[in-house]
Structure 1
Amino acid sequence: MSILNINWKPEFGTIFTWFAMDKNGKIAVMVNNCFGDLPKCLLSIENAELLLDQLNEYMWEESSVYLTYPQNKRGDFKLDLYSYWRHKNNLGKEAIIAELINDFIHSGHYSDANLAINKGFFEYQAIEGSFEGEDYPVGYNDKTKMGDYFRYLMPTIYASIEDFPEELRHGIAVSDIIDFTNDRLLDNDKINDYFPRMYKK
C-alpha cells in the first residue's frame, strides 16, 4: 500500500529517494533519510511511490521494464559535505573518499560513487539522527536542522533528462532557482519553493 500522498509528512521509518533537476538541467538524486520533505508537486501524483520505485530501479539498473541504459559517463566524483552521524568514527575526508572508491570497486553500479562517476548524478542527503543536533553536514559552517538536504557527491560529467526513459521523466521535480553546482544546502522548509513543478515536455 502506498503511503505517499499530498498529506504525507516526513517521519522516522521509510527512506524515500526522489529525483530533481536544477535550473541548468542537471540531475540530482535526493535521499530523504526519513526526515527530508518531498515536494508537493511530486506527492500530488497518483501512485507517486510506484513511480519513484520505477525510477530507482532504473537508476540501479534493476528495471524489468526499461532495459536500455545510457552509456557510462566514465567521469569522476567529488565528495562535498558528509554526515557527522554516519562517519563519526572517522571524520577524515580522505578516509571517506577511500571508502567510496573501495565500494565502487567492489559494488560497481550499486555503489553511491557510481551515481556520480557513471550516471552523472549529484547526490544530496538529508540530515538525520535520532534527535536534533545529533547529525550535521561536516564541512558546512552555517546552522542546519534535521531534514535539510546537503550536497554529498558531485559528478564531473553531468546527466540530463535525456538519460531517463520518456515514460519516467514526469517523475522528476524541477527547480527554476537551484543550481546544483553552487547550492550546497537546501532548506527543508523551502522544498516546495525550490521544486514547484514536475518535468513536462
Structure 2
Amino acid sequence: MAGLFITFEGIDGSGKSTQARMLAEALGEAGHAVRSTREPGGSPGAEEIRRLVLEGDPDRWSAETEILLFTAARRDHLERVIEPALAADEVVVCDRFADSTRMYQGLRGPGLRDAVDALHRLMIRREPDLTFIIDMDPAKGHARAKGRGGHEERFEDFGAGLQEQMRAGFLALAEEFPDRCVVVDGDRAEGDVAADVTRIALERLA
C-alpha cells in the first residue's frame, strides 16, 4: 500500500463532497487505508476557522484576510491530519485544498493569486498527487448549492457571477497543473461520475 493525496475541487454545488465520500468508500472496499477530510477544516483548530470564513455576511472579510485565515487553517490541517496519514501510507481524500484558495480568493483582485501562491510556498509546501475538478454549469451548481439551506452559505451569497468566474478559473487551473488535475463532467448521474473517478484513482494507485 502507498499513500496518495487526492483532492476534489470545483464550484459550489458541483458534487465534490458526494464524490469524495464515494471515492473514499470505493478505495476502502478495494483494500486501501483511507483518511477522509475536508477544507476549510479537517482538524480541530481548522474547524474553528471554518466557522469564521463560511458564516456571516459576504463582506465580513476582505479577500486578503481570507487568504490568511485559509492558510492558517490549512497549516493546522496539514500538520495534524494530512501529513501523519500520508506518512502512515494512507490515501488521503480531501474535499477542497489550496486550489480553492487560488480561485475563491486569488481571483478577486489584482495580485491576490500571487499572494496565495507566496503563502503556499512559505507555509504549506505541498500539492496533491491527484486533483479531480468536478465541472458543472455555474447556474445549475449555484441553484443546487443555495437549495441545500444551512448556515454555511457565505460564498454562495456572492451570487452566480462568482461561480461563473470560478468555473473558468478551475478549468484554467487544470491546464496550469496538467500532471495532477483531471476534469470530470459532473453534470451526470452520481454513479457515472463516481465510476470515472474511482477508475482514475485506482489507476494512479497502481
Normalised by the length of structure 1, the TM-score is 0.32
Which of the two has greater helix per residue?
Answer: 2
TM-score, structure 2 length as denominator? 0.31
